[in-house]
A and B are shown apart, each in its own frame.
Chain A
Amino acid sequence: MEKASISRRKFLKNLGLAGAGVLMASSPWLSAFAESDKTSRYKVKIGIIGPGSRGQFLMSFLTKNPKADIVALCDIYQPSIDEALKLAPKARVYRDYRALLDDPNVDAVVITTPLDRHYEMAMAALDAGKDLFCEKTLCYTLAQCYEVYQKHISTGRILFVGQQRLFDPRYITVMKMIHDGTFGSINAIRAYWYRNNNWRREAPPELDELRNWRLYKQHSKGLMTELACHQLQTGTWALRQIPNKVMGHGAITYWKDGRTVYDNISCIYVFDSGVKMTYDSVISNKFYGLEEKILGSKGTVEPEKGKYYFEETEPAAAFVRLINDIEHDIFDAVPFAGTSWEPESANENKGEYILGKSPKEDGTSLMLEAFVEAVISQKQPERVTEEAYYSSALSLLGHQALEEERVVTFPDEYKLNYLNHVHNPILK
């Protein structure tokens, strides 16, 4: 057992995550790696449903994982199959996902189809006894998300949703700092994603809906389900609370090209304490990019940029280097000694990097490794699905608020026994 935990520590340390044990309190799903050194002789046989752009990206990691084998592919668009076969040439090809689910050779399924397809495929996969990795947003409606979650509980199958920030070393590290109180009390989160493109793929009219499903209401909820979903999660993770109210407005103000999803949205999520998380997205200006600014009484975190800032005196660069050296087992001199420091000589507040300048990865590969480990050990990591369920739920409720132009309250019937929803009276 001791050996296992040492090896897990080493594994996470390679990703820039020191002291994995301590991080577990903030990110309990890292327990997925608890037995990673004992599972090397296993191979999970995986089927991919909808290996389009995201599916192929996920495959590129899975093909490098010696514990995973992609044995089946299913798509209704030949170019996607052709591309996916380049990554997994030996995989069996299916046209109908149900046939793939009937394949007894498949242990686990990855769903990367358009949003409106998720529910039916996810339910069928869990019913077929497959462990499931479903891309975000979990489903097209909150009711469907709830059903899939309950199906995961009743079947006991593993369920992961593609919320890779949960496995991003920068987020994991900084959430621990937030939970330790490093930045004081968090009273506001300002999240946004700005892009400047039409989000449209070239396609003949008969393939437009299949290729550009993101632009049409019947398949997607646009910016809320495609982008916000990832970022709203930062709020619940940081505050360990679910906001119970949301209001907002959505419109098409620039890309009036026949799309039916908004290209300009703003939402305000309200936590019970009155703390607010705002979410904005426009796709006609990209200057500010994306961020989730976490505003605490003692400091600010910009996890996308990978930086944090203190309100008052900044930490001394030499001391930050010293503690980083210590974490990396380095015994070296740090240059700071000299004549007395005076406040007048303080520099502009440039902030500190959470994990160095260039992050090693965004969490996707670690998330997939965690999924494979969970399938092998048949242990659902704590909280990973609940966090993802609520990211989906919040993005869908936000969308509802935009559509109905009213304050939407979190419906009791879709609350899980989780965080501040734990006293939900309608739960047994």
Chain B
Amino acid sequence: MQQLFRQIDKDRELVYAWFEAMHTRIDLVLWDTGEADRLSCAVQAIEEETRRIERMGSRFLPYSEVSRINDAAPGCPVCVSDELCALLARCLDYRQRWGGLFDVTACEGVSCRLEEQRLSVCAPYVARADETVRIDLSGCLKGYALDRAVSLLRKQGIGNGLLSFGNSSVFALGNHPKGEGWLVAEADSPDRRHVLHDECLTTSGNNTGSRRHIVHPLTGRMVEGRHTASVVTRSGEEGEVLSIVKFLSDSLSASFQDKAETGCIRLNQKK
């Protein structure tokens, strides 16, 4: 991890820290009154937590818990942590709630009907239904890690920061040192700005015409075309799920291919 420190004014310190994890970059700006050491400890704790979650949930790491499930014979229950069980159980709920559009077992070439039970989760055991099932948490793990990072900060009493996990999941905690909330603009269209306050902006989709990486679970086809979908939510995990659902719902509309983006919807309910 690399860190840059700045003094905002007499009483306030700021840290900007960044590192690569989960096959992407994580950028964290935090500020607080008092010691820079506190901020430094906080960003280090976030890095450790993110790497821990990656070791648990990445399908690319051969010894992760998810890889153990993917490598086990179909039908054979694998004992995993409560944490992973809970995350997978939530993923199954999301699948039901969104008519099968969010599916961590989606796979190119396989159409996953909603009625089909592809994964059984019965803590502390998880089992794949058949050989076509491969768990891929890429669609929610960053959001989950982001939520964990935010709760770590809150526990440490650090109430202000901008946390970006791969630019696609951005949590604005508290306020910018010079204003209310945080202002975040989109890389591809800087005029599109979002004011965020204790909220997460999540974007899914293809930023170029040639990029294709999201599988439509119901058809088993990679979604093509330059299109992105953004949502503003209270949590990072929810944001990832909803932005994918929105992207996939958009993909059914006739104008999908020629509309670069459909705008952002705010799904969070402000109290």
Contacts and interface: CB of A to CB of B under 8 A. Distances in A.
Interface of A: 18-19, 21-22, 177, 180, 182, 298-299, 310, 312-313, 315-316, 318-320, 322-323, 326-327, 329-343
Interface string B181-221: 00111111010011000000101111100010000000000
A250 B271 CA distance: 75
Contacts, number: 132
A343 B23 contact: yes
Contact of A312 (B2, B24, B194): B2
Given A331-B179, A341-B166, A343-B20, A323 B6 contact: yes
B183 A341 contact: no
B27 interface: yes
Nearest to A316: B27
Contacts of A339: 167-168, 203-207, 211, 228
Interface stretch (B8-16, B69-77, B81-89): B8-16
B184 A315 contact: no
A131 B25 CA distance: 55
Interface stretch (B51-59, B111-119, B128-136, B170-178): B170-178
B6 A319 contact: no
A340 B185 contact: no
Given A310-B2, A343-B23, 17 more contacts: A18-B7, A21-B10, A313-B2, A316-B18, A320-B16, A322-B16, A326-B6, A326-B176, A326-B178, A327-B8, A335-B185, A337-B164, A338-B186, A338-B207, A339-B207, A339-B211, A340-B142
Contact of A18 (B6, B166, B230): B6
A273 B4 CA distance: 26
B167 A319 contact: no
B164 A336 contact: yes
Contacts of B3: 182
Nearest to A298: B2
Nearest to B229: A339
A176 to B, nearest CB: 8
Contacts of A22: 7
Contact of A319 (B27, B166, B176, B205): B27
Contacts of A312: 2, 20
A86 B20 CA distance: 60
Contacts of B137: none
B10 A315 contact: no
B92 interface: no
In the A-B complex, the 8 residue pairs with the closest CB atoms:
A19-B7, A331-B179, A333-B183, A335-B190, A335-B185, A333-B185, A340-B168, A331-B178
A333 B193 contact: yes
22 contacts: A18-B7, A19-B6, A19-B7, A177-B5, A312-B20, A313-B2, A313-B18, A313-B20, A315-B27, A319-B18, A320-B16, A323-B29, A326-B177, A327-B6, A330-B178, A333-B183, A333-B194, A335-B190, A337-B164, A337-B203, A341-B166, A343-B23
A182 B4 CA distance: 6
B229 to A, nearest CB: 10
Nearest to A331: B179
A146 to B, nearest CB: 38
A326 B184 contact: no
Interface residues of B, number: 49
Contacts of B205: 339
Interface in B144-173: 162, 164, 166-168, 170
Interface of B: 2-10, 14, 16, 18-20, 23-25, 27, 29, 31, 142, 162, 164, 166-168, 170, 176-179, 183-188, 190, 193-194, 201, 203-207, 211, 228, 230
Contacts of A323: 4, 6, 14, 16, 29
Main secondary structure of the interface of B (DSSP, over half): strand
Contacts of A333: 183-185, 190, 193-194
B190 to A, nearest CB: 4
Nearest to B187: A338
Contacts of A316: 18, 25, 27, 164, 167
A352 to B, nearest CB: 9
Contact of A329 (B2, B4, B178, B193): B178
Contacts of A341: 24-25, 166-168
A298 B3 CA distance: 10
A326 B187 contact: no
Contacts of B164: 316, 319, 336-337
Contacts of A310: 2
A354 to B, nearest CB: 11
B185 A334 contact: yes
Among A298, A318, A329, A336, chain B packs the most CB atoms within 10 A around the CB of A336
Contact of B187 (A298, A330, A336): A336
B27 A342 contact: no
B166 to A, nearest CB: 4
A322 B179 CA distance: 13
Given A313-B25, A340-B168, A180 B5 contact: yes
B20 to A, nearest CB: 5
Contact of A334 (B31, B179, B184, B204): B184
A313 B24 CA distance: 10
Contacts of B20: 312-313, 343
A206 B195 CA distance: 74
A111 B255 CA distance: 77
B56 to A, nearest CB: 19
Contacts of A335: 185-187, 190
A340 B24 contact: yes
B14 A326 contact: yes
A320 B17 CA distance: 10
Contacts of A318: 187
Nearest to A177: B4
B183 A336 contact: no
